[in-house]
Amino acid sequence: MMDKFVLKFLWLDKSIAVCLDQKISVDRSIPLTEYYFWPQKDAWEEMKNYIEENNWIIQKDAVILLNKITEVINFWQEASLSQKKDFQKLEEKFPDCLFIGHNH
């Protein structure tokens, strides 16, 4: 499934944001959504609404995407500040996601 889509996370100290891109080749993708921020808003709910509005995203893919967002947000919430700055470990833990941050 992650060969069709890529979740991109903006990884910050006080918030996290997620957007969804569609892969068009191995190293290229096109954005489908804006960044949805958490905890300012419910990023998971905003992504769920986007997916539901776009019925070409099949249910199986939707579940995988939303579960991955939950995993990453939970990790972000539980991570210490030093863990939040360790992008190598982050990319090892979530190899199918892209992370962007001020220390990356």
**Tens-digit pLDDT profile for residues 30-63:** 999 999 999 999 999 999 999 999 989 999 999 9
Q: Are 19 and 36 in contact (CB under 8 A)?
A: yes
What pLDDT does 2 receive?
A: 62
Structural domain harbouring 62: 5-101
What pLDDT does 103 receive?
A: 55
Q: Are 92 and 84 in contact (CB under 8 A)?
A: no
Whole-structure pTM value? 0.88
What pLDDT does 26 receive?
A: 84
Number of domain units in the chain: 1
Which CATH number characterizes residue 88's domain?
A: 3.30.390.140
d(CA 35, CA 100): 12
For the record, the structure tokens of 17 come out as 């944001």
Which candidate, 20, 21, 34, 14, places its Cα nearest to that of 76? 14
